[in-house]
Structure formats: structure tokens, C-alpha cells
Amino acid sequence: MYSSQMLLQFLITLPVLLVSLVFHEVSHGYVAARLGDNTAKQLGRLSLNPIRHLDAFGTLVLFLTFFGSGGNMLFGWAKPVPINPGRFSRMSPQRGMMWVGAAGPFANLLIVAASALLLENLTGLGEFITLALFRVFQLNVILMVFNLMPIPPLDGSRVVGGLLPPRAYMAWARLDRYGMLFVMLFLFLLIGPFNSVFGNFLLTLYRLFLPSFGF
């Protein structure tokens, strides 16, 4: 039996996560379009409508992890925006994918900064609004840090790939085929021995952006 507090937390968290994922994915497609690849635009993936970005299995995992952990964990994903690096006209596919990859975490960083600014400077928001804003801040910090990990096919691997020599980049890009295996291994480490490192890094960001909250 789930408590009303957990259900309220989920009803706040779900739309915040969906909106954050949408901004993350749309930013990838927007930068790709600026570089000359209109694939995402042609497929209607530059829309802010969450339904266009929902991944059925990723959404199911979101429900299972939240309620299966008693509200202590939330993990899910949206459909990746389709990118065709071969259509980049303003720079090489390698360098273009670096900027496309960086766009998603940068979008999350903007949301982190905006929500922190509101939390730090506005008073009398009420418990519900404060909780919702903090959830916006918290989830976008997690999305930003997680996606910046240099693990194929996460965004951090695109940034690393853009800095490699061309021959090394080709070998690095081929690792994408094992992407899900790498992500599952990382999640295992996140639950196990790497958990404290990841948690301490998140706590550092909380203290940096929300100094008055006393983390």
C-alpha cells in the first residue's frame, strides 16, 4: 500500500522529469538543425509535446523504479532524438556530435540555474511550490551529471569523442553498439561501490547552487 505522501511526490516528480527530458532531447535536435541536420525537425521531434518523446519501456522502468524503491529511486528515459551527422554542413560529423551531445546537459544546467535562482531569492512560496522547484533542481542536476558521464552512448561520450584524433574517434564511436551494456554496468556501480562518489559530487553541486539550504 503506497502512502499519500509517496503518491504526491510521484505526481510532482513525473511531470518535472518529463519536461526536463523533453528539453534535454529537443536541445539535441535544435543544435543538430543549426548544424544542418533537420532530421529531428522533419520527424516532429523538436516539439515540446512530451508524447512525441515518450519511450514505452523507459516510462515503464520509471514507474517500476520509483514504486519498487518506495520512492527512493527514479530512473527512466525518453526516445533519443534522431541525428544524422552526415548531414552536418557547418562542421565535421565528429565535431558536430560533440556540440549536439553537450546541448542536452547544457539545457539541464540552464534549468538548474533558473530553479536555484528562484529557490534562493523568492520567499513565501509555500511548501508545495518549494518542493516542486526543488524537485526541478534535483532532477536536472542528476540528469546533467549522469548524461555527462563519458560512457557510450551518453552525452559525455560525444564530448570526449569530439576531442579525440579522427582514427581514435572511429574506434570510440563503434563502442555505441555496446551502449546498453555500458549503461547497465554503470548503474550497477552507481548502486554499489560508486554510489558514495556520485552522491558526494551531487551534494557538492547542491551546496554550490543552493548555499542557503544548508546541505
Q: How many CA atoms lie within 13 A of 156 on its CB side?
A: 12
Q: What is the pLDDT of residue 72?
A: 65
In the numeric block, the cell 558521464 is attached to: 149
- Is the confidence at residue 208, as pLDDT, over 60? yes
pLDDT per residue as tens digits for the range 93-138: 999 999 999 999 999 999 999 999 999 998 778 888 888 899 899 9
pLDDT digits (tens, 9 = 90+) for 80-100: 899 999 999 989 999 999 999
120 is catalytic: no
Q: Model pTM?
A: 0.88
* Beta-bridge partners for 78: 54
Mean per-residue pLDDT, 46-72: 79
Given the residues 25, 77, 141, 162, the one annotated as active site? 25
Mean pLDDT, rounded, for 149-160 = 91
Residue 190: per-residue pLDDT = 64
**Regarding predicted confidence, which is higher, 58 or 148?**
148
Average pLDDT, the chain: 87
Segments making up each domain of the chain, as ranges: 4-213
First-to-last alpha carbon distance for the chain, in angstroms, is 31
CA atoms within 13 A on the CB side of 155: 22
Rounded mean pLDDT of 146-169?
Answer: 92
Q: What is the DSSP secondary-structure string of the chain?
A: ---HHHHHHHHHHHHHHHHHHHHHHHHHHHHHHHTT--HHHHTTTT---GGGGB-HHHHHHHHHHHHHTTTS-----BPPPP--GGG-SSS-HHHHHHHHHHHHHHHHHHHHHHHHHHHHH-----HHHHHHHHHHHHHHHHHHHHHTSS-TTSHHHHHHHHTS-HHHHHHHHGGGGGHHHHHHHHHHHHHTTTHHHHHHHHHHHHHHH-GGG--
